[in-house]
Amino acid sequence: MPIRQFQAQRIHAPREFKAIPEQALCVEIGAGKGKHALLFSQANPSQHLVAIERTREKFLAMKKQHELNPCDNLNPVHADAIAWMVHALYPAQVQQLFILYPNPEPHNPAQRWLNMPFFEFLLSRMAPNASITLASNIPEYISEAQQQLDTVWQLPYRLEKIATDSARTHFEVKYLARDELCQQLVVTKPEGYQTRFDDFMPLQGKVTQPNEATTTA
List, for residues 76-124, the tens digit of each pLDDT value. 999 999 999 999 999 999 999 999 999 999 999 999 999 999 999 999 9
Pairing label, strands 25-29, 49-53 = parallel
| Integer Cα distance of 67 and 62 in angstroms | 9
Residue 3 is predicted with a pLDDT of 77
pLDDT (mean) for 189-201 = 97
Q: CB neighbours of 79 closer than 8 A, spacing ≥ 6?
A: 14, 15, 17, 52, 54
Do residues 56 and 78 make contact, with C-beta atoms less than 8 angstroms apart? yes
pLDDT band at 212 (very low <50, low <70, confident <90, very high): very low
pLDDT tens digits for range 122-131: 999 999 999 9
pLDDT tens digits for range 30-81: 999 999 999 999 999 999 999 999 999 999 999 999 999 999 999 999 999 9
Instruction: Give me the domains of the chain, ranges plus CATH numbers.
Output: 22-212 (3.40.50.150)
Residue 2 is predicted with a pLDDT of 61
Q: CB neighbours of 62 closer than 8 A, spacing ≥ 6?
A: 31, 32, 33, 34, 37, 51, 53, 76
CA distances from 71 to 65, 180, 202, 210 (A): 10, 32, 26, 40
Side-chain half-sphere CA neighbours of 32 within 13 A: 16
pLDDT tens digits for range 151-191: 999 999 999 999 999 999 999 999 999 999 999 999 999 99
